[in-house]
Amino acid sequence: MSWPTQDELHEIRKIVSEMAGKGTEDVRVVVSPYRICPLGAHVDHQGGIISAMTINKGILLGFVPSGSTEVALRSGQFKGEVRFRVNENHKSRQTISKGEEINADKSSPSPDEFEWGIYARGALYALQSRGNHLAQGIIGYICGSEGLDSSGLSSSAALTALETANGLTVSPTENIEYDRVIENEYLGLRNGILDQSAILLSSHGCLTYMNCKTTEHKLIRPPKFLEDQEAEPQKG
């Protein structure tokens, strides 16, 4: 079954339209698929060789530009609402954990949205830390595929939405690096680049090959006999 379905897209556009007071035709949807990893699931952070393929399940982020610097996000799976401004100076979680004082602008997340909303704040941090000026926030709603909906907001989706709202042109390889900044610098995780590479580089029906040390990558199509087999009608 193809994903996302038209019903899913219609529903998320309707919700964002009601949140923002705008027409459904103004709502854009970022599609961030989940992935499988036949090779290299735990070697990407060591610069190893990985392979990955996206599946027909994932996270949808519907959004519109907010018309101001404010970001407001809600989730279909988690309570709480993420609110911050793109002109705030966001510190890394590592800096905050070391005891530095947090300003009264409330730039730190509340307990309710710490888990699922932290990647949106991380996306702003990554873009700011690499010299991008953001003046436009977003109003958005995220929803994960049923049964696989416990992972919160995709950092790739958050980056794409903020970039689109602010008219930034960013390549997939640049966003892979921004994702790394979110996870390694902002959150202090020791992740590699497997997840974001699979999301940003994959193509339908292809296996993505990547050298995580050099970032060299290519798409590998299935053998022709498998394509022919898939195209042949099944006999009853």
Reply yes or no on whether 195 is catalytic.
yes
| pLDDT score of 152 | 62
Q: Which domains does the chain have, with CATH numbers?
A: 6-231 (3.30.230.10)
Burial class (CB in 10 A: 0-12, 13-18, 19+), 229: exposed
Q: What is the distance in angstroms between the CA of the first residue and the CA of the last residue of the chain? A: 21
Question: Burial letters for 127-140: b for 16+ Cβ neighbours within 10 Å, e otherwise?
Answer: bbeeebebebbbbb
Find tokens 């994959």 and name the residue. 202
The predicted structure's pLDDT at residue 148: 63
* Marked catalytic residue, from 26, 149, 195, 228: 195
| pLDDT value, residue 84 | 95
* Per-residue pLDDT at 149: 56
Indicate the pTM of the whole model. Answer: 0.84
Evaluate whether 83 touches 143 at the Cβ level (below 8 Å): no
pLDDT at 234: 44
Do residues 113 and 125 make contact, with C-beta atoms less than 8 angstroms apart? Answer: no
User: Helices marked H in the chain — which ranges?
Assistant: 6-20, 93-97, 114-129, 155-165, 172-180, 194-201, 224-231
pLDDT at 230: 54
Nearest-Å Rg of the Cα atoms of the chain is 19
Distance (Å, rounded) from C-alpha 135 to C-alpha 129? 15
Output the pLDDT for position 150: 52
Residue 223 pLDDT: 82
Mean pLDDT by 10 residues, the chain (236 residues): 91 98 98 90 88 93 98 91 90 58 43 71 95 97 77 85 97 95 93 91 91 93 66 46
